């Protein structure tokens, strides 16, 4: 029989935990949707891209069951299965800087299998060889307990890679980015609601300053804020950021796939996720340098790194 999850999946009192404004929503959604490329997710698989699970028939089945447990949709194709699993992990990393899953195991029947149970990282902290999930006071009755003790060996923990800021750096980025989602500052909104005018706001200057600050915050990622306009920037800067974002996604993608393979090895599943044709981080950086050196046009550079 499959072991029952001990971790609390979510806390009702924190249901709006990810309500951080449009900037954070768009940023995290772009990471999730583009980490395996939109063209791939829409079924338009480029011929050069290959993703499969290699191993014995039983090991492949165990790996497929494990990945399917964190997918949003039922997948019969290994390509789609791996893509969906990577996107789920990427979404959690994009929001929280880390993701934790409880490993559920069933070996009582003829067919052994593993499952991953995702849960909220709110109030979760490490103490020696275990994690403690602290239940918010408002949810004590809902959860029926105040704390949950989770042995480290029963968890799969994955952090945002250091090249992208790590867990702490990414959480700080999300927190700062959430502060710049308002089109109008609070003091101006207060004056408008009170129908009085003590300050004169230069909205054009405020808008440009806001954009510059958002660019500074997401410089490491190169996120273009879903804008291809050159009204507030140059074409070179826009393409530089767009290709940098491809590099960041490549770093994240490789990290998640490698960690999934480490998890399979840790669980004794003799199967491996193999992939080819996906842009590697170092390849994207080489293309970016060639673009900056004038060896590639903007369009050529983009086509080299897109899927």
Instruction: Write the pLDDT tens digit of every residue in 102-127.
Output: 999 886 666 678 999 999 998 999 99
- The C-alpha torsion from 86 through 64 and 100 to 97, rounded to 10°, is -10
Q: What is the DSSP string of 238-268?
A: HHHHHHHHHHHHHHHHHHHHHHHHHHHHHTT
**Can you give the C-alpha Rg of the chain in angstroms?**
22
Question: Which letter does DSSP use for residue 3 in this model?
Answer: P
107-121, 134-148, 253-267 — most confident range: 253-267
Judge whether residue 257 has pLDDT over 90. Answer: yes
Q: How far apart are CA 15 and CA 223, in angstroms?
A: 27
- pTM for this structure? 0.89
Rounded mean pLDDT of 26-31? 95
Both tokens of residue 189?
Answer: 């909104």
Q: List C-alpha distances in Å: 107 to 3, 78, 96, 266.
A: 10, 24, 32, 16
pLDDT of residue 130: 95
In this predicted structure, the answer to whether residue 3 has a pLDDT above a threshold of 90 is: no
Locate the domains of the chain by residue range. 12-305
């Amino acid at each position: 029989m499959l072991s029952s999850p001990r971790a609390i999946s979510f806390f009702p009192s924190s249901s709006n935990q990810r309500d951080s404004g449009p900037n954070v929503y768009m940023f995290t959604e772009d990471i999730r949707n583009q980490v395996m490329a939109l063209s791939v997710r829409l079924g338009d698989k480029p011929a050069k891209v290959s993703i499969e699970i290699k191993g014995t028939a039983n090991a492949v089945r165990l790996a497929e069951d494990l990945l399917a447990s964190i997918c949003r949709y039922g997948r019969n194709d290994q390509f789609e299965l791996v893509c969906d699993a990577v996107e789920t992990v990427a979404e959690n990393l994009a929001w929280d800087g880390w993701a934790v899953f409880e490993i559920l195991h069933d070996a009582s029947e003829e067919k052994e299998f593993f499952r991953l149970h995702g849960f909220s990282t709110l109030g979760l902290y490490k103490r020696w060889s275990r994690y403690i999930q602290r239940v918010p006071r408002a949810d004590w009755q809902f959860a029926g307990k105040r704390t949950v003790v989770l042995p480290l060996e029963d968890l799969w923990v994955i952090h945002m890679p250091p090249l992208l800021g790590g867990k702490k750096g990414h959480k700080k980025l999300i927190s700062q980015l959430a502060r710049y989602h308002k089109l109008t500052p609070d003091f101006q909104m207060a004056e408008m609601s009170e129908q009085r005018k003590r300050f004169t706001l230069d909205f054009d200057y405020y808008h440009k300053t806001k954009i510059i600050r958002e660019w500074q915050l997401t410089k490491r990622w190169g996120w273009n804020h879903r804008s291809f306009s050159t009204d507030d920037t140059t074409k070179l800067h826009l393409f530089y950021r767009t290709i940098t974002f491809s590099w960041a996604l490549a770093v994240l993608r490789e990290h998640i796939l490698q960690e999934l393979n480490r998890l399979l090895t840790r669980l004794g599943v003799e199967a491996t996720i193999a992939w080819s044709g996906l842009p590697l981080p170092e390849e994207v950086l080489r293309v970016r340098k060639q673009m900056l050196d004038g060896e590639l046009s903007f369009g050529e550079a983009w086509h080299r790194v897109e899927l």
